[in-house]
Amino acid sequence: MRILKAGISKITRQDGLSVFRKKASRAIGNKGFTLLELILVLVILSISAAMIFPKLSSFGAGNLKRTARHLSGLIQYLAQESAATKQVYRLHYDLEQASYWVDTLQDNREFAAANDPLLGRRKLPSGIRFEDVITARHGKVNEGEVYTEIFHLGVEKTAIHLQEDERIWTLAVNPFTGRVKVYDRYVE
């Protein structure tokens, strides 16, 4: 009997034919896991839990997160539209009514409601409100109405603070690029 590979042997029978047989590699009574295998599984589960847990803890911030994303997307969209069309926009915030809308500068040099229905007045979801809005022109405003002007060369520096229960998120507008950075805390 000659061993060709681990676990496979070649047996030559009396009639000259060769037969290949596979040997059992483990004893039949050896069942179960080693300590090393169990530790490895526990380490993998721990790493997975560490990555998933932070996502689950922010699961309750769904409406606040969705609202912050929508507002930041709207500001970035208006900045890009203004750069492409040279149209001047005003993004109004009504802090008392928890709503916002967009006006455009008309040929008569006055602002009027935008024609696009996507830019019309929108209410914030229930439970979310504007804590305050800080603009370069108006300073810190925490009641009434205020707006951010959006020009083809940039956006008025603005910080929007949204509140839901005890959580406050900040949307900080870059005046040069129109990009919006979202923080999950209050940032001046």
Stated pTM of the model: 0.67
pLDDT the model gives residue 163: 95
Statement: 62-183 belongs to CATH 1.10.486.10: no
Check: CB of residue 101 under 8 Å from CB of residue 169.
Answer: no
Reply yes or no on whether the pLDDT at 56 is more than 90: no
**Using CB atoms within 10 A of its CB, is residue 76 exposed (0-12), middle (13-18) or buried (19+)?**
middle
Q: 35-47, pLDDT tens digit by residue?
A: 888 899 888 888 8
Reply yes or no on whether the pLDDT at 99 is more than 90: yes
Q: How far is it, in rounded angstroms, from Cα 52 to Cα 120?
A: 38
- pLDDT band for position 110 (cuts 50, 70, 90): very high
Query: What totals of helices (H) and strands (E) does the chain contain, helices first?
Result: 2, 14
Q: 134-160, pLDDT tens digit by residue?
A: 999 999 999 999 999 999 999 999 999
User: Per-domain residue ranges for the chain?
Assistant: 62-183
Residue 116 CA: distances (Å) to CA of 10, 66, 79, 122, 155: 81, 21, 15, 13, 20
Tokens 């914030």 belong to 124
From 136, 138, 145, select the one nearest 176 (Cα to Cα).
136
Reply yes or no on whether the pLDDT at 114 is more than 70: yes
Q: 1-25, pLDDT tens digit by residue?
A: 555 555 566 666 667 666 666 665 5
pLDDT the model gives residue 10: 67
Reply yes or no on whether the pLDDT at 58 is more than 80: no
Residues 6+ apart with CB under 8 A from 164: 61, 63, 64, 127, 128, 129
